[in-house]
Amino acid sequence: MNKYETVFILTPVLSDDQMKETVEKFKSVLTDNGATIENEENWGLRKLAYPIENKNTGFYTLIEFEGEPTIVDKLETAFRRDEKVIRFLTFRLDKFAAEYAVKRRAVRKAKQEERAAAEAAAAEAPAVEEAPAVVEAPATEANAETKE
């Protein structure tokens, strides 16, 4: 079994639910044909480097999977048949690329955990309002004479 990585761009006119349904459809194509999905990353709506089909943005998604070489043909056929897909690219990862992908996932996971911990700490910290400080006027000779 080989490790593969596929990135595909979906048309920007889709709603969030439609985009998620389309990604699930392609994931089911992979799992139905015996592939195991190792990682999925939704990169969100991004600007394209150049217009494709008069569109300047698209929903980017990356899926890393492991499976037989025949699965790639079936997946790419599904990409070509779906009009929601603007572009796609699938390639086999060699051992160095697979190691890099594992490191990249670990760094991404650490950043997400760090971000979640920071948000949790911010939510737990009590919202303390500072009372305005009362500033007393410095004692001067004029103030001292009026007090006497």
Pairing of strands 36-52, 2-10: unpaired
39 vs 98: CA distance, rounded Å: 12
Q: What share of the chain is helix, strand, coil (3-state, %, to 5)?
A: 45, 30, 25
- Two tokens, residue 96: 């160095």
3-state secondary structure of 22: helix
Distance CA 115, CA 92 (A): 32
> Tens digit of pLDDT for each residue in 60-118?
999 999 999 999 999 999 999 999 999 999 999 888 888 888 888 888 888 888 888 88
Q: Which residues contact 24 (CB under 8 A, 6 or more apart)?
A: none
Q: The pTM is what?
A: 0.73
Question: What is the tens place of the pLDDT at every residue in 44-61?
Answer: 999 999 999 899 999 999
CB-CB contact of 94 with 46 (8 Å): no
Q: Are 119 and 32 in contact (CB under 8 A)?
A: no
2-94: which CATH architecture? 2-Layer Sandwich (3.30)
Confidence label for 24 from pLDDT (cuts 50, 70 and 90)? very high
The 10s digit of each residue's pLDDT in 58-72 is 999 999 999 999 999
Distance, CA of 90 to CA of 72 (rounded, Å): 7
Please give the pLDDT value at position 123.
82
Distance from C-alpha of 101 to C-alpha of 63, rounded to nearest angstrom: 11
